[in-house]
Amino acid sequence: MLHIIIKDLKLFINDKKGLFMYLLLPIALITIFVLAYSNMGGSYDPIKLVIVDEDKSYESTSLIMKIDSLSSLDLIKTSRDSAEMLVRSGKISAALYINNNLLDSILNGKTAFELLYDESNEFECGIIKQIITPKIHRFAAKCKIKKQLSDSFFADKSTIHEMVGKGVDNQVQSSQIGLTNIITYQGISGGNMLGQVGLVQGIAGTAVLMLLFGVRSIGSQIIEEKEDNTFRRTIFSTLSPDIYLLGKLSSSLLVALAQISVMFIFSAIVFNFDLFYNFPALILVTFFTAFSCASFSILIGVLVSSRNQLQSISTIVILTMSAIGGSMVPFFIMPAIMKKMAVASINYWSIQGYYDIYLRNYSVIEIMPRIYIMALISIMCLTLSWVFFKKRYLKLLTY
């Protein structure tokens, strides 16, 4: 039995590629997931919050100062219009509006604050809500108590301020009753997709991940055809190498489009995923997602030099891209360092494209920047593929 164990272990160790996958892949994935779910990859950056102070009173200024003193938030003061634009564009997760007549609204139980937030960034918005809601309630309660004290004792305001600061905190909790209406929350997202971040994330994230694995088979055909000599024979014909590569890209694109269509149709039937919510935009994002995945598969196929290499390298690259790009771990819960890394993946741009359609309610024109980037990624992959294909062209053909 010992001989069997020794022999098996020797075979296992001698399989360098297998060993590489056995050790490196789990290490890579552990690293990515630990970075994603913990603060080990560096602390979270302060979350940006836009403040629009329309009241510009002593009270509103003092509230802004209190919020600004929080290390977890980074305040940006701006106008109502630009605040809304920032949130709608997805650049900022939330905007807090301090309405006119702040004090009166608080005292009369009317809406004094509005929090506009990007539903596609549920994680950050949740944190913002958790941080500022108690602060606002506490502030409003204090304002109410001050007013009550002022009315009761006809005292001068500076004395009341001192009193409130020293002794009224304990009463705040009970005074919050009746303040629930002073803040309203408005999520910006696609109308009927409201609250369906999970659905969009699940479908888009998985679709891109599976697409990358799906089109890998076309990339692997380049290697297979090299190994079984059908590539040589193909080039012996009147077909030029350019057409060969273009043919591979086209078949890879068709496979990708077919796969993603099946995934979306299934999601529409089973999960009520609305395919026609913004159909032209969906077509555009889907096409360029498929195109960039197809280009990536060609690059992988040209870069590697054997089927085994293709299996191991592509698995690592695809899983890494999917982990940092938001297919496995939603982008909004990632720490800052991973968010920066995410832009290097196809997954990120594609998933954000679907967020733009379904959660940010973008028009076709508004999603174009994402499309341009996916097109750029595709062009880069194809250019590199062509360079490596040319470089190895003679090598592939000579005995």
Partner 1 sequence: MLEIKEINKNYGDKEVLKELSLKLNENEIYGLIGQNGAGKSTLMNILGTLVNPESGDIVLNKKSYLSQKKEYKKHIGIIPQEIALFNKLSIMDNLLYWGGISGIKRKDIYKSSYNFLKLYGLYNRRNEKVQTLSGGMKRYVSIIATMIQKPKILLLDEPTVGIDPTQRKKILDAIHKLKDKGCSIIFSTHYLEEAEKICDRIGIIIDGNIKIEGTSEEIKSKYGKGEKIIITTSDPVEDLDFENSQISVERNQISFLSNDLNTRLMSAINLIQEKGLNIIKIEIIPSSLEWIFLNRIENNKML
Q: E strands of the chain, at which residues?
A: 47-53, 73-77, 94-98, 113-118, 183-188
CB of residue 123 to partner 1, shortest distance in Å: 46
Which amino acid is present at 397? L
Q: Look-up: residue for tokens 């999960």?
A: 271
Rg (CA), the chain: 28
Q: CB-wise, 115 or 245, nearer to partner 1?
A: 245
Question: Of the two residues 150 and 234, which places its CB atom closer to partner 1 in the complex?
Answer: 234
Instruction: Tell me 121's DSSP state.
Output: G
How many whole angstroms separate alpha carbon 330 and alpha carbon 127? 15
Query: Least CB distance from residue 387 to partner 1, whole Å?
Result: 20
Tell me how far apart the alpha carbons of residues 340 and 232 are, in angstroms, rounded to a whole number. 43
Between 176 and 251, name the residue whose CB sits nearer to partner 1.
251
38 or 238: CB nearest partner 1: 238
Angle between helices 279-303 and 346-358 (to 10 degrees): 170
- ∠ CA(391), CA(393), CA(398), 5° rounding? 125
Q: Please answer whether residues 95 and 186 qualify as being in contact, where contact means their C-beta atoms are separated by less than 8 angstroms.
A: no
Q: For residue 120, which of 48, 203, 201 has the smallest C-alpha distance? A: 201
End-to-end CA distance of the chain: 45
Minimum distance, C-beta of residue 306 to partner 1, in the bound complex (Å): 17
**Cβ-Cβ contacts under 8 Å for 29 (sequence gap 6 or more):** 319, 323
Q: Which residue has the tokens 């106008």?
A: 79
CB of 241 to partner 1, least distance (A): 11
H-only helix segments in 326-397:
336-342, 346-358, 364-397
Q: How far is the CB of 243 from partner 1 (least distance, A)?
A: 9
Closest C-alpha to 36, from 237, 329, 250, 316: 329
Q: Which residue lies nearer to partner 1 by CB, 27 or 239? A: 239
**For residues 1 and 394, which CB has a smaller minimum distance to partner 1 in the complex?**
394
The three-class DSSP label of residue 55 is coil
Chain residues that interact with partner 1, rule: CB under 8 A: 228-230, 232-239, 394, 397-399
Closer residue to partner 1 in complex, CB, 276/399:
399
Please, which residue, 12 or 393, has the CB nearer to partner 1? 393
Contact 377, 371 (CB under 8 A): no
User: In terms of CB distance, is 236 or 276 closer to partner 1?
Assistant: 236
